[in-house]
Amino acid sequence: MKGILSLRKAKEGASPAATKSKIPAAQLRIQKDLGDIEQIPRTMKLVFPDPNDLFNSELTIAPDEGFYRGGIFRFSFKINTNYPHEPPKVLCLSKIYHPNIDLDGNVCLNILREDWKPVLNINAVLVGLQYLFLEPNADDPLNKEAAEVLRANRTVFENNVRRAMNGQSVDGVQYDRVAI
């Protein structure tokens, strides 16, 4: 008990500058996660616009196989101070035709929602996002129309993806040109 009281008194007597210099637990975890990331695949690029801000980054995915090969897709990647107890917020900045990404850029990935656990890390999210481009999930869609087409006719779905990636419209919706 004496040890706890002496720690409390020391903390209370600490200068404001000393308490401000503490690194938030979330930032320590982010630094650990970034250090643990195995080499990011060449199809992905994680950039920190402000190198002093590890809580906000941009992710680019350029799939080299699957329906979305030949496209470049940009995401904002925001981590709050409750990380790792809360998942990162991921938003697709490119308007794309995808069953698991709605027209506002919201991403449907189970580990970003109900299946998130503090043992998961940034690398798990990167792998999950990459997998959405290799195998879109029609069983858990945000874009129900795209999911229905994927389930009904993969050839029509692939044609719709190609048209959308080239900046054309699909079912009256104009998409961003993301094809390179």
Domain extent listing, the chain: 24-174
Global confidence as pTM = 0.83
Whether 100 contacts 142, CB under 8 Å: yes
Task: Identify the pLDDT of residue 9.
Answer: 46
Task: Identify the pLDDT of residue 34.
Answer: 87
Question: Which residues are known catalytic residues?
Answer: 108
What order do you get walking across the sheet with 89-92 strand by strand?
Answer: 44-47, 56-61, 73-78, 89-92
pLDDT by 10-residue block (mean), the chain, 180 residues: 40 48 84 82 93 95 97 97 96 98 97 96 94 96 97 98 98 97
**Could you identify the residue written with the tokens 């350029």?**
62
Q: Which amino acid is at 17?
A: A
Crossing angle for the helix pair 25-36 and 122-134, nearest 10 degrees? 50
Task: Identify the pLDDT of residue 20.
Answer: 52
Task: Identify the pLDDT of residue 79.
Answer: 96
What is the Cα–Cα distance from 116 to 180, expressed in whole angstroms? 33
Task: Identify the pLDDT of residue 35.
Answer: 84
Task: Identify the pLDDT of residue 4.
Answer: 38
First to last CA, the chain: 65
Q: Which fold has domain 24-174?
A: Ubiquitin Conjugating Enzyme (3.10.110)
